[in-house]
Amino acid sequence: MKDRSTLIIDGKALAAKIRGEVASECAALSGEGRRRPKLCVIIAGDNQASKVYVRNKRKACEDCGIDSVTVELGADVTREELFSVIDKMNSDCEVDGILVQLPLPGGIDEKEIILRISPDKDVDCFHPVNVGRVYTGDPVFLPCTPAGIIELLKFAGVEISGAKCVVVGRSNIVGKPVAALLLSENGTVTVAHSRTKDLKSVTSEADILIAAIGKAKFFTAEYVKPGAAVIDVGMDRDEEGKLCGDVDFDGVFGICGAITPVPGGVGPMTVAMLMKNTLKAYKLHEG
């Protein structure tokens, strides 16, 4: 029964605020005559979605006062050629962050590529060293999308400490790390997935529901506890080809207490947190 007002959590507004803070710090550095932070993005192949993401990151760098370089490689790139580019960027003292845009062309082991990036330049927080530090509560960088989710919850005034948090999805990029960050904020965390029995009964008890499975409008009203905060990480297309999330936004609106829209929710935060990580890497390198 829809008898509640639902807060739409504006990811664009929060991302703009964070990017503005990064831009202010970068401007201050330039005013002191210091070099600007620098991000290197490596893209291989012809994945159109990846090209869009890379353009968005380049534009964010421009807006924040961060120098950026994009290395574009063909779909026939070899593992050794990728290693060579990464090694060059690892040894360049003016490059603070290195990001390899995924997915990579077939035949290349993504794990090997991630391992090649120096942990102190791993602004995506994919390297096992940085992942381990997140899980042990001593992070250098925070994974961009999960960190953005935590910021969105705080921005909306959602109390994480003591809350029942259900994360649906167990990917290394979102599901697992966001569970770790919720735990570090004293949430009581359950990770559900494709093998979870009676998923509706699990999610309908959640004070905070994180949906990250990549299935358009999968989470309908019966999955959501009245008053819950719902974070939709999905980026899907509905039957009409329109962009949507994993949550049936119209169906749960008025039931949940707060919800992120798609687009305009989690997506902008991912890029904003990348800018924040790049600035942090710069500070580490400059002492």
Answer yes or no: 124 catalytic: yes
Answer yes or no: 48 catalytic: no
SS3 107: coil
Q: How far apart are CA 13 and CA 264, in angstroms?
A: 9
Q: How far apart are CA 244 and CA 218, in angstroms?
A: 11
Name the active-site residue from 96, 124, 232, 246.
124
Spatial neighbors of 263 by CB under 8 A, at least 6 apart, are 235, 243
Instruction: Report the candidate in 286, 279, 277 with the shortest Cα–Cα distance to residue 134.
Output: 277
Spatial neighbors of 262 by CB under 8 A, at least 6 apart, are 232, 234, 235, 236, 243, 244, 245, 247, 249
Give the CA-trace dihedral at 100, 106, 107, 112, to 10 degrees: 20
Give the CA-trace dihedral at 141, 151, 24, 28, to 10 degrees: -30
Q: How far apart are CA 166 and CA 154, in angstroms?
A: 17
CA distances from 193 to 13, 209, 210, 217, 239 (A): 31, 13, 12, 16, 24
Q: How far apart are CA 71 and CA 93, in angstroms?
A: 17
Name the active-site residue from 38, 57, 121, 176.
57
Name the active-site residue from 38, 101, 121, 217.
101
Any idea which residues carry the catalytic annotation?
57, 101, 124
